[in-house]
Every structure is written in C-alpha cells, then in structure tokens.
Amino acid sequence: MMQNLLRNGLPVVIAGLFVSLLQAGPKVYVGLPISASRPVPMERIDHSTWNDLLRRYVDEDGGVDYQQWHANAVDVKRLDEYLAALSAADPAAKATSDARLAFWINAYNAVTIKGILREYPTSSIRNHTAKLFGYNIWKDLMLHVGSQQHSLDEMEHNILRKLGDPRIHFAIVCASKGCPRLLNEAYLPDQVQQQLEANAIDFFSRPENFLHHPSDGQFELSAILKWFGEDFGADQSAGLKKISRWLPDDGAQQAAATGRGRIDYLAYDWTLNERSEASAGQ
C-alpha cells in the first residue's frame, strides 16, 4: 500500500500518516481520567484488591480461571475499581525504581486480564490483535494514568523495558501459555526484587521455556529471548551469561556462564493461559 501511495506522488510523511490511520483500531479506555490536581505517588497506590483477585483466580502455575472471573460481576467490577486506582498514580512524581517496576508490571497484567475478560470466551489473545482495520488489544486497549493514556505496547516498550531490568520479561504476561506464569500475587515495591528473581528462576525451570543438551552444547530457549535479546546483552554470548544464574541446574549454569553454545528457539504457544480443570478442582 505504501509503495502505491508513493508512486502516486503522495509525500512520505502524509503516506505514513494515512497508513497509520488505516491500521488504527477503535480505542477502548479502562481506568478513569484523573484531574491533574488529584494524582498520587506510585508508592501510595494500593494493590491489595489486585492481590486478592489474583489469589482467587490464578493458580500456582499461572493458569487463570477466566470462566469463573468472567461470570462473577462483583469481581469484574473489583478489577475495574483497581484499574481506576491505578489511574490515580502520578507518573511524574518522584518514585523509587522498585515502586515503578511494581506499578507498571501490575498495570500491564491487570489491563491484559481486563482485555481478555472483555472478549471471553476466547482461545487466544492473538484473536484480538488485528494488523489492519480493527481492534488490536496491544495497541488499542488504553489505561488512563494521571493525565495520559497508555496501551499495553507503550507500557512494555516505552516504560518497562526502559527501566533496564530484563526480568520484566518473566513477569509481564500476555495471556498465553508461552508467557511466563502470571504470579498469583501482586508485585509490591518492597518485594518486587525477590518476586522478579523467583519468577525468572521459575521461568527457566519449565521445559517449554528452556532445555539444555550437554552432549552437544545446545540451548533451546523461549522465543522471548529471541524477540527481546537486546535486553539481555549485546549478543547471544552476553545473553547466555546474563541468564546463567536463573538456569535450573549447575551444569546448565556453568555452560551458559561461558557464553558458548548453539542456541535454538522453542515454538511459542499462543493458546490462552486458562486454568486447567484439574487445577481448578484442587
């Protein structure tokens, strides 16, 4: 399309704007617009409601009981109230890096859950990520925070990744089985470092995310490490060294710490991270 526009003489800037408009879907807003005089520091945001909801609907493996949550109007409303509480935060106010990490990880995960509950029943978040002419949950589901609105993409790429901690990739969850587990507790400023470390270790303990073959020095890694490799180091060798401390056994840790080995990437499972019936019955 862009090539046709350019051949017809439409300037590059105008052509790019035209294509962006075609790609834009209808915006959906969650949370509440907050007056500039009302926002509060991130440390003062109460995450207890989110914690309670996670405890109720998420199991130890990160499976979500979307069916029961969707059917419970009271708890759907409680999630909306939590999103409204997030809206009251002042991103410009002074805050510790741990408070920012906890806030934006919780925000990303809560908005994702809200987006799935809006569409439920569904089999995958990819059913709601139109590339042209339609709603894209990652780009069009917007959370009010103070006087601004942030999409999931913006939260991930423009905020969380810029905080410089690659462990966020083992904490933010895109409602898919290929994602890290959704922790069944809220991230909190005074616990977030321990929570991130625990989730990184859990992530690599799962064979769908990591395999090591000592006989030939091969590592099989989640596609997350391919998509966001630059966050773990300048090249694959640096990335292996970075993840070595989270790997599940001494042999894998020592091999990765050398920075040497052949890397392949595992298939990513976009199936909804829905709680299994067996888990729900426990």
Output the pTM of the full model: 0.90
- The helix (H) or strand (E) run that includes residue 150 is strand 148-151
Chosen domain end from 151, 176, 201: 176
CB within 8 A of 14, min separation 6: which ones?
none
DSSP-derived letter for residue 176 is: B
pLDDT of 280 > 80? The answer is: no
Range of the domain at 259: 210-265
Say how many domains are in the chain. 2
Q: Are 167 and 225 in contact (CB under 8 A)?
A: no
Q: Are residues 55 and 158 in the same domain?
A: yes
| Interior angle at CA 167, CA 208 and CA 244, nearest 5 | 65
Residue 275, domain member (yes or no):
no
- What is the full DSSP assignment across 7-39? HTT--HHHHHHHHHHHH----EEES----TTS-
Residue 250, in any domain of the structure: yes
How many CB atoms are closer than 10 A to CB 211? 16
Q: What percent of the chain has pLDDT over 90?
A: 84
Whether 281 is in a domain gets the answer no
Same domain? For 76 and 153 the reply is yes
Residue 135 lies inside a defined structural domain of this protein = yes
The pLDDT value given to residue 76? 98
Residue 17 lies in a domain: no
Of 256 and 281, more confident: 256
pLDDT of residue 262: 96
Residue 58 forms beta bridges with which residues?
A: 64
Arithmetic mean of pLDDT, 70-88: 97
Tens digits of residue pLDDT in 9-41? 545 444 444 444 444 579 999 999 987 667 799
Average pLDDT over residues 60-78: 98
